[in-house]
Structure 1
Amino acid sequence: MLAPLRHRAFRWLAAGRMINMLGNGVAPIALAFAVLDLTGSVRDLGLVVGVRSLMTVLFVLFGGVVADRIPRRLVLVGSNVLGAATQAAVAAVVLTGTATIPLLLALGAANGVVSALAQPASAAATPQTVPPELLQQANALIRLGINAGSIGGAAAGGLLGAAVGPGWGLAVDAATFAVAALAFAGVRVAAPKARSSRTGVVDDLRVGWTEFTARTWVWAVVLGFMVLNACLAGGVNVLGPAVADSTVGRSGWGVVLAAQTVGMVLGGLIALRIRVRRLLLLGVACMFAESLLLLGLALAPTILVLVAAALAVGIAVEQFTVAWDTSIAQHIPADRLARVYSYDMLGSWIAMPLGQVAVGPLAATIGARDTLLALAGLVVLAVGGMLASRDVRRLRALPPGRAAEEARPAGEPPAADGRPVDPAPAWAGGDAADRTPVG
């Protein structure tokens, strides 16, 4: 299960991503308290957070192009250095008492652009750091590290905010960006394939779109998650706290969210050991569990029911995430992987703000209970729609020897001798030991 850790590039990548998530756990808590201390306005907090998210969505496609054009190690190091600079600036203005909402909006927008540059490169780097037969375990270990970092970051953010103030929490977040940049410097992987002629950004996006639409199972799942994520963003993130206020209380809601994170850790451990041929089918089917928390909030908002539902959701999410990352890496060419991930991220995220905005008026019209039941029904329909795709149901995990052949660019034929056009392993790029497959 721990075989991917034998590869130096993977160790540095896993460490960098865990450190990033540690900072990401601290930052939202510190920023929330900083804005509330400044103006006391929830509207202002929503604006600061929303601008960052909007810039990430707007620039994520460009981030995919960048990650497929230049070495991903350079993208990861550079984006984290920029992230450290922007967050250090936020910390400085908060600590010196010179922060204003327009200034925080501008810095948040800059940090959102940095995030858009980093995320496709981060997701696409994993298959370059391990041999194909270890890809599933590598994705599961990455997810375990991310969840551990998230737990530690949230705890640290709360403690720092209470003990020394939000400015120092933001300073710690800036430091995690800097440390992650050092870790990513050790991710020595192969650069993207050299192009015979330089192409423009629009041409690169067109190629990525061709890869994204050429495989029905890819766009079918992304469309399903467009609906699913919108339902969860509105139902769990907006209505969840409102229902909890009148039932299990705020501390009880914290326990529920913690249970979901524990479920994600357990799910990562399970994903390390699962061996099935139709891995994507299993992952998508597990997403029926996402309706459980919505149903619990609607029908039986007790601490026991909600904790059990959140635990199941956490386990299910990890099965899908590992299955998805493994399937994408096996079937998409390495030099186009970041662009496909960027279209995936854009499609999956774009409806979330709509869900968050629409759920309030809907709940005011038909009631929170009926709204939650409707959202649970939409989740079930979205998962059913994904499973209705024959390609989703029949996609098989590939043996290592076939992965490179299956991941040829759309429309590109194999070599005359039947071998893949580029026989060099996509994960090559570390030291000699890194390029030796583990038995």
Structure 2
Amino acid sequence: MFQPLSNPAFRWLFAGQLISLLGTGLATVALALLAFELEPERAGWVLGGALAIKMVAYLLVAPIVGGYASRLPRRQWLAGLNLGRALLVAMLPLVEQSWQLFGLIFLLNAMAAGYTPVYQAALPDILTDDADYTRALSLSRLAMEIESLLSPALAAFLLLFTPFALLFELNAVGFVVAASLLLLAKVPAAAPSDRSGGIWQHVSFGIRSYLKTPRLRAALLLNLALSAAGAMIIVNTVVYVRSVLGLEQQWVPALMAASGAGSMLIAFWIPALVERFGDRRLMLGGGLLLSLSLFVGLTEPGYAGLIPLWLLIGVGSSMVLIPTGRVVRNSCSESDRNDYFSANFALTHGMWLLGYLLAGWLGRDSDMPLAFFGLGVLALSATLLAAWLWPARDEEALWHHHPAVDHLHPHVHDEHHQHEHEGWEGPEPHVHPHHHHAHSHRHKFTIDEHHVHWPKQS
């Protein structure tokens, strides 16, 4: 499980991730308190608006970053974004009106949308061994769940002695430390992109290519199932505990921690489960577990019954989320990883936005059976559609045909570029008009500059 930490570059990156996650967890608690201070009677509306703005920033910014991140030095880019986030978080205690808060939240999450996909795309280049990469994904998931458990407790302790504004400053310090650790890591440069075209071609390439890949469409649907179950926990746990069960608010954190415990428990086993069952069967199993857990909620369990139910949702969440990184990595070329991971970041957060809205709408007036049923139907439908879209025999190497074409784009000489030169073309990758003869061949297939449609297989 901890083998990837023997890699110095990943060790520094992971340490930085842990510190920044812990700081962000503290700031999340402080943000709720700041929203109440700004508008005591509409604190929920302010927090809901901040969440919506966060998702909009993710959806708008991530594809742009994906289209151009390969041209940037990764280490400096990631460190610079952490420093930028440190500055923005440090400004939050100065906020006096809601619109100022919304503006800072947008900028903060725009930087997160520029940071996370590039970080995710760098991991396969740092950890080239398949098993180590899978373990690293499990470690990252484990770090997120540890943060979700520790941050509220640490925040509660600190608030006994300090004002909540200090939590923002601690988050800023965390980002600065994370940036310093990044500068110590040797992060490989991104492979050069061979893509041609204008701004729209670069910005839209990742999402268009992602949605043309059958296994990625299936992975996105399974993340929709994950979002349906996860949104039920995040949005409606407090409603169920307070309104349905009539319990006090101190019973809420322990119940939500059950989901994190389930997620952490299975994270240790994911590498072995992936090796035994493969990505497809493990993720589909996770989708079915999430659907079943939501339907069990129709029995209207008491508090003791909710704990194992929430724990199973946590287990199913990791079964879907952790292998998703492997599926994205295996579905793109090295030069297009930034685009694909950015598309995955944007699209999966779009699924979460849909889940949040549905969980809130279905659970209005404390109608928990309707929420369980509606979200369960959504999760099961998404899982069954994913099983249909994702071929059971999902071969990476596919036969396909290339028609004859003349075009111009940056390229190196590989299986698609075997042509003569006159001496002026310069070192690879280089750009010059060249001709591709019509031919058919078989190799690992990904949507890219030369493969714009998924081949039909007999």
Q: 1:252 to 1:324 in 2, by over 3 A?
A: same
Q: Which stretches in structure 1 are left out of the alignment for 5+ residues? A: 399-408, 422-439
Q: 1:141 to 1:85 in 2, by over 3 A?
A: same
- Residue 329 of structure 1, CA deviation: 1.8
Q: 1:168 to 1:364 in 2, by over 3 A?
A: closer
Q: 1:303 to 1:196 in 2, by over 3 A?
A: closer
2:252 equivalent to 1:253? yes
- Partner amino acid for 2:281? L
CA distance in 1, matches of 2:313, 2:91: 37
- Work out which of the residue numbers 169, 172, 175 in structure 1 matches 2:170: 172
Q: Is the CA contact (8 Å cut-off) linking 1:80 and 1:178 kept in structure 2?
A: yes
Residue 16 (structure 2) aligns with? 16
Q: TM-score, normalised by structure 2?
A: 0.79
Residue 269 (structure 2) aligns with? 270
Q: Hey, which of these two has a bigger chunk of helix by percent?
A: 1
CA distance in 2, matches of 1:220, 1:419: 23
Q: TM-score, normalised by structure 1?
A: 0.82
CA deviation string 1:79-114 (max 9, x = no partner):
1111001001113x1xxxx62222212211211211
Residue 30 (structure 1) aligns with? 30
Q: 1:396 to 1:73 in 2, by over 3 A?
A: farther
Residue 59 (structure 1) aligns with? 61
- Residue 223 of structure 1, CA deviation: 3.5
Q: Per the alignment, in what secondary structure is the counterpart of residue 17 of structure 2?
A: helix
Pair member with larger Rg: 2
Residue 128 (structure 1) aligns with? 125
- Residue 354 of structure 1, CA deviation: 4.2
Q: 1:159 to 1:280 in 2, by over 3 A?
A: farther
2:164 equivalent to 1:192? no
CA deviation string 1:48-102 (max 9, x = no partner):
34323322222121122243332322221111111001001113x1xxxx62222
- Residue 370 of structure 1, CA deviation: 2.2
CA distance in 2, matches of 1:19, 1:282: 30
Q: Per the alignment, in what secondary structure is the counterpart of residue 394 of structure 1?
A: coil
Residue 44 (structure 1) aligns with? 46
CA distance in 1, matches of 2:192, 2:71: 9
- Residue 390 of structure 1, CA deviation: 3.8
Q: Decide which moves more: 240-249 or 337-346.
A: 240-249
Residue 87 (structure 1) aligns with? 89
Give the alignment's Cα RMSD to 1 decimal: 3.0
Q: 1:294 to 1:141 in 2, by over 3 A?
A: same
Q: 1:314 to 1:224 in 2, by over 3 A?
A: closer
Q: Per the alignment, in what secondary structure is the counterpart of residue 240 of structure 1?
A: helix
- Partner amino acid for 1:267? I
Identity %: 20
Residue 435 (structure 1) aligns with? none
- 5 Å-filtered alignment, 1:220-235, equals 220-226=218-224, 228-229=226-227, 231-232=228-229, 234-235=231-232
Q: Decide which moves more: 289-298 or 37-46.
A: 289-298
- Work out which of the residue numbers 143, 153, 156 in structure 2 matches 1:155: 153
- Partner amino acid for 1:11? R
CA distance in 2, matches of 1:87, 1:53: 18
CA deviation string 1:213-254 (max 9, x = no partner):
34211022214434652x346533333321111315433321
Q: Which stretches in structure 2 are left out of the alignment for 5+ residues? A: 398-410, 419-440, 445-458
- Work out which of the residue numbers 211, 214, 217 in structure 2 matches 1:213: 211
- Partner amino acid for 2:368? A
Q: Per the alignment, in what secondary structure is the counterpart of residue 159 of structure 2?
A: helix
CA distance in 1, matches of 2:322, 2:231: 25
Q: Is the CA contact (8 Å cut-off) linking 2:223 and 2:321 kept in structure 1?
A: no
2:311 equivalent to 1:314? no
Residue 430 (structure 2) aligns with? none
Residue 77 (structure 1) aligns with? 79
